[in-house]
Amino acid sequence: MAKLVFDIETSALPVEQFDSAQQEYLFREAENLADETAREIKRGDIRKQFNLWPFTAQVVCIAMVNAESSRGKVLFLADDADENEDESGAVQFIACADEGDLLGQFWDLAKHYDSIVTFNGRGFDVPFIYLRSALLNVPVSQKNWLGYRFQVDPHCDLMEQLTFYNVSGRDGAARRFNLDFYCKAFGIESPKAHGVSGLDMNQMMAEGRHREIAEYCLRDVHATTLLYKIWRERLSGIK
């Protein structure tokens, strides 16, 4: 059964894109504070969260590889066309003119896979791309990826598996850690080892560092693939 490992990167949309009613709604919690300094700090905090919401951010990159062959593609937004392969020749980088094109190409590729592997994809990546696709009227070829939570097909979310579906809550033995922490614990090179994290996406987009975003996203996918293989061999019970 072909499995697709994928990850997305997102970047906040300009505040000016939203009308006054939307801005009032988004920043209401900040505007309710009496102290001006506290208001500005809270507005900044809310602005940082824009990346997390599909109605206030866009998908700027999707990296994907076949879990078995490690061959794949990285689709990313860029001002000019740029298509080439990574050093191994296994992954093709494809520049996309806009988000609709990026999502359309992704769904065209996704229809060839039976199932997916993600890290926190159930909580973030999948609902994000579903909603962005709906907003842009991009046809979704796989609509069952959020299916029944307590199974690993068609969606194996490693965050769910490594916390045993959050069995012990925030402070127990199976508490949730981020991908960086899990990678270091299992001896996998962290995607953040090159000094880039998801928090840098807005600035990198503004600076036109599109290829760096693509390479970072691919590192996330490679790390997730290695973590999946460890989980499968040592914990899953899958033969």
Delimit the domains of the chain by residue range.
3-10+59-236, 19-55
Question: Distance between CA atoms of 91 and 43, rounded to whole angstroms?
Answer: 40
pLDDT at position 147 is: 86
Judge if pTM exceeds 0.85: yes
Least confident of 50-64, 108-122, 198-212, 218-232: 198-212
Q: Mapped to the 3 state alphabet, what secondary structure does the chain carry?
A: CCEEEEEEEEEECCHHHCCHHHHHHHCHHHHCCCCHHHHHHHHHHHHHHHHHCCCCEEEEEEEEEECCCCCEEEEEECCCCCEEECCCCCEEEEEECCHHHHHHHHHHHHCCCCEEEECCHHHHHHHHHHHHHHHCCCCCCCCCCCCCCCCCCCEEEHHHHHCCCCCCCCCCCCCCCCHHHHHHHCCCCCHHHHCCCHHHHHHHHHCCCHHHHHHHHHHHHHHHHHHHHHHHHHHHCCC
Can you tell me which residue has the tokens 């609902």?
127
Chain center to CA of 122: 10
Q: Which fold has domain 3-10+59-236?
A: Nucleotidyltransferase; domain 5 (3.30.420)
Question: Distance between CA atoms of 200 and 204, rounded to whole angstroms?
Answer: 6
Query: Given a cut of 80, is residue 214 above it in pLDDT?
Result: yes
Question: Distance between CA atoms of 8 and 59, rounded to whole angstroms?
Answer: 7
Tokens found for residue 49: 């969260």
Q: Mapped to the 3 state alphabet, what secondary structure does 142-162 carry?
A: CCCCCCCCCCCCCEEEHHHHH
C-alpha triplet 238, 6, 102: angle, nearest 5°: 150
Q: What is the arithmetic mean of pLDDT over 80-100?
A: 79
Can you tell me which residue has the tokens 């940082």?
48
Question: Distance between CA atoms of 151 and 71, rounded to whole angstroms?
Answer: 26
Higher pLDDT, 184 or 197: 184
Query: Given a cut of 80, is residue 238 above it in pLDDT?
Result: no
How does pLDDT run across 12-69, given as a tens digit for each residue? 999 999 999 999 999 999 998 888 899 999 999 999 999 999 999 999 999 999 999 9
Question: Distance between CA atoms of 146 and 131, rounded to whole angstroms?
Answer: 13
Question: Distance between CA atoms of 187 and 227, rounded to whole angstroms?
Answer: 10
